[in-house]
Amino acid sequence: NLDRNQIGDVGLSVLGQAIPKSALISLSVAKNALTDQSMKLECAKNLEELHMNGNQITDMGALEFCRHLMEGSRLQWLSLRENQITSRGGEIIKTFLPSPANVEY
């Protein structure tokens, strides 16, 4: 749980590179001033649970996230509440997640 640490996009990218692919299954980075740039998080497809609430992510970030999910994902729970994602962006993400994954936006 790294909520409210102001790690930003660069910090999350460095964190994602430092964590071995199988070492982390759940990550919470709520309220960290993350933008669409953070949706390129490579380690996200290896997570089972990801919370990114209260950041500055938009539908463009949702599309970027889907590009990474196309290669397969173990993600079962994704929370993007209190961002700038519309129902359109949220529904797009749902189509790329394994069934019966849960998405909050």
Residue 75 CB neighbours (<10 A): 23
- pLDDT tens sequence across 35-50: 999 998 878 878 999 9
What does the pLDDT read at residue 97?
A: 87
User: Residue 17: is its pLDDT beyond 90?
Assistant: no
| pTM for the full predicted model | 0.91
Find, among 29, 24, 34, the residue nearest to 2 by Cα.
Answer: 29
- pLDDT tens sequence across 81-100: 999 999 999 999 998 888 88
How far apart, in whole angstroms, are the C-alpha atoms of residue 46 and residue 55? 21
Report percent pLDDT > 90 for the chain.
68
Which residue type is seen at 6?
Answer: Q
Q: Quick one: the chain helix, strand, coil %, rounded to 5?
A: 40, 15, 45
